[in-house]
Amino acid sequence: MAEAKSKLKVMFLCTGNSCRSQMAEGWARALKGDVIEAFSAGTNPHGMNPLAIRAMREAGVDISTHTSKRPEELNTSFDVVVTVCDSAHESCPVFPGARVVHVGFDDPPRLAKGAATEDEAMPHYRRVRDEIRAFILTLPGSIMP
């Protein structure tokens, strides 16, 4: 009997762990859960973004039970850490034994800053959600040496 291959442990890291990293974790669990054990965290977590939850729900992925957290709260080691924003990449802590890969995505809250309503803000969240989904579909190949 063949030994079961272990999943690649991947953490998606951004600053607030409220939007982009949460979307990446949600997509990775939904689309690549057979090969990736996905986590997300933030260098300065500040709670879940309700519009990120809404955008993911529209795409059929529920991240409403996710929480915003720091990497050390995960209490595990990783094979790969993917920084999904420039700020997290610049201030990325050291993760012994982990390969760090940077794949930056636009910040939906920043893009939607001038929006008068949530509905006006949503196209920014949807675009970034879809870009993150496209990236997740390339895993694990695109993050391995």
Average pLDDT over residues 121-129: 98
pLDDT tens per residue across span 102-117:
999 999 999 999 999 9
Looking at residue 20, its pLDDT comes to 98
Instruction: Note whether residue 2 is domain-resident.
Output: no
Domain of residue 69 covers: 8-138
pLDDT tens per residue across span 15-53:
999 999 999 999 999 999 999 999 999 999 999 999 999
Is the Cβ–Cβ distance between 52 and 108 less than 8 Å?
Answer: yes
19 catalytic per annotation: no
Instruction: Note whether residue 3 is domain-resident.
Output: no
Instruction: Note whether residue 114 is domain-resident.
Output: yes
d(CA 114, CA 135): 27
Q: Is the pLDDT of residue 2 over 70?
A: no
Residue among 51, 56, 63, 85 flagged as catalytic = 85
**Three-class secondary structure of residue 58 per DSSP:** helix
Is the Cβ–Cβ distance between 135 and 32 less than 8 Å?
Answer: no
Residue among 31, 92, 98, 115 flagged as catalytic = 92
Q: Is the pLDDT of residue 3 over 80?
A: no
Q: Which element (helix H / strand E) includes 44?
A: none
DSSP sequence for 86-134: HHHHHTPPP-TT-EEEE-----HHHHTTT-SSHHHHHHHHHHHHHHHHH
Q: What is the CATH number of the domain that holds 26?
A: 3.40.50.2300
Burial code (b: 16+ CB inside 10 Å, e: under 16) for 5-33 equals eeebbbbbbbbbbbbbbbbbbbbbbbbbe
Pairwise pLDDT comparison (133 vs 145), residue with the higher score: 133
Average pLDDT over residues 88-105: 92
Instruction: Note whether residue 144 is domain-resident.
Output: no
Residue among 8, 10, 11, 14 flagged as catalytic = 14
Is the Cβ–Cβ distance between 98 and 78 less than 8 Å?
Answer: yes
Mean pLDDT, rounded, of the chain:
94
**Band of pLDDT at residue 9, cut at 50, 70 and 90:** very high
85 catalytic per annotation: yes
Number of structural domains in the chain:
1
Helix, strand, coil percentages for the chain (3-state, nearest 5):
40, 15, 45
Q: What percent of the chain has pLDDT over 90?
A: 89
d(CA 15, CA 9): 20
Instruction: Note whether residue 116 is domain-resident.
Output: yes
